[in-house]
Amino acid sequence: MNVKDKLKQTADLLLDISSLLMVSGANTNRINLSLTRFASALNCQAYSMVTHMSLVLTVTDIETEETFTRVKKIPKYQINFSTISAISKASWSALRDDWTLTRIKEEFDVIKTRTRYPKYIVLIAVSFAGAGFCNIFEGDYINMLVAFISTLSGLFILQTAHGRKINGHIATFLASFCASFLASIGVFYNLGEHPQAALATSVLFLVPGVALINSFTDFLDNNILNGMVRFANGTMTVLSIALGLFVAMLLFQLN
C-alpha cells in the first residue's frame, strides 16, 4: 500500500470514529484526544475541525509529510456513553500496543455493532426514574404513579416523533406537553399529598444535560464555537420543555 492510499484509509477511518464520538455525546476535546492517539499509533498526525454538523480532518504522514484531507457530515445524534468509553479505551490500547490500521478498523467495527438497549427497556427504566424523582420531592405512591404514567407517555411520544424524523425541538415540545398534561390532571383533581411533585418531575427526562455539560466543557477547553452551538441547542430544548409545560398548565388554569 502506497502512502496516499494509507492516508486515505486512515482519514476515512478517523472520520468515522470522530463522527461516532460526536453523535454519541462526546465533547470536542475528547474527540481530538482520541483522534490524536489513533493517528500516533499509525505514525501520522491528525488535524481536525469539529463542528456541530460536519467534520474536517487532515492526516499527515510523519515520515513523508504527505497530507490528505477529508470532510464528513455528522449523522443524527444518539447519545451513548458506552460507545464513547469503548472508543477511548481502544485509542489507548492502539497507542500502547502499536495497532495496525486493520486492527483499529476491526475493533471499531465491533464497537459500531454493539446493540443499544431496546426502546421498551429505556421507556420503563426512565419512567421508574421519574417516579423516583417524584418520591425525592416528597410525592406519595399516588403521585409516583402519576409521574410514572406521565413520563412513560411523554417518552413514548418523544421516541415516536424521533422515529418519524420530526424536528427535535418540536418533538421535545410534544413530549413535554403530553407528560405535563397528564401530570396536570393529578394537580387539578388533587391526587395524592403532593401532586405538584409529579408535575415538576414529569418532564425531567427531557432536560438536555449532555448538551449543556458539553457546552460548559467546550468553553473551558477554548472550543468556543462548539460551546456556543451546544449551549444554544440546549437552551432551545429547555424553552421547548417550558413551552409544553406552560401550555398544559394554561389549559388547566394552574398557578
Q: What is the pLDDT of residue 238?
A: 96
Number of structural domains in the chain: 2
Give strand ranges (E) for the chain.
44-50, 54-61, 67-73
Domain end position, chosen among 112, 132, 154? 112
Alpha carbon distance 209, 191 (integer Å): 30
> Do 14 and 83 reside in the same domain of the chain?
yes
Residues 82, 198 within the same domain: no
Q: Same structural domain for residues 127 and 87? A: no
Residues 75 and 106 in one domain: yes
Q: Are residues 130 and 44 in the same domain?
A: no
Q: How far apart are CA 65 and CA 44, in angstroms?
A: 9
Question: In tens digits, what is the pLDDT along the chain, a chain of 255 residues?
Answer: 678 888 999 999 999 999 999 999 999 999 999 999 999 999 999 999 998 889 999 999 998 889 999 999 998 888 899 999 999 999 999 999 999 999 999 999 999 988 888 999 999 999 999 999 999 999 999 999 999 999 999 999 999 999 998 999 999 999 999 999 999 999 999 999 999 999 999 999 999 999 999 999 999 999 999 999 999 999 999 999 999 999 999 999 987
160 and 131 in a common domain: yes
Same domain, 23 and 96: yes
The Cα 44–Cα 62 span in angstroms is 5
Instruction: State whether 126 and 60 are in the same domain.
Output: no
For residues 61-84, b (16+ Cβ closer than 10 Å) or e, as one string?
A: beeeeeebebebebeeeeebeebb
Residues 138 and 243 in one domain: yes
- 107 lies in the same domain as 127: no
Domain range for residue 214? 119-251
Please tell me the distance from the alpha carbon of residue 25 to that of residue 180, in angstroms, as a whole number.
27
**What number of residues does the chain have?**
255
222-226, Cβ contacts within 8 angstroms, sequence gap of 24 or more: 223/27, 223/28, 223/29, 223/50, 225/51, 226/28, 226/50, 226/51, 226/52
Q: What is the pLDDT of residue 108?
A: 95
Stated pTM of the model: 0.89
Q: Which of 112, 130, 163 is the last residue of a domain?
A: 112
Count of beta carbons in the 10 Å neighbourhood of residue 113: 7
Residue that finishes a domain, picked among 112, 142, 157: 112
Between the CA of residue 55 and those of 17, 24, 232, what are the distances in Å? 11, 15, 19
Tell me: do 150 and 102 sit in the same domain: no
Claim to verify: residue 146 and residue 238 sit in the same structural domain: yes
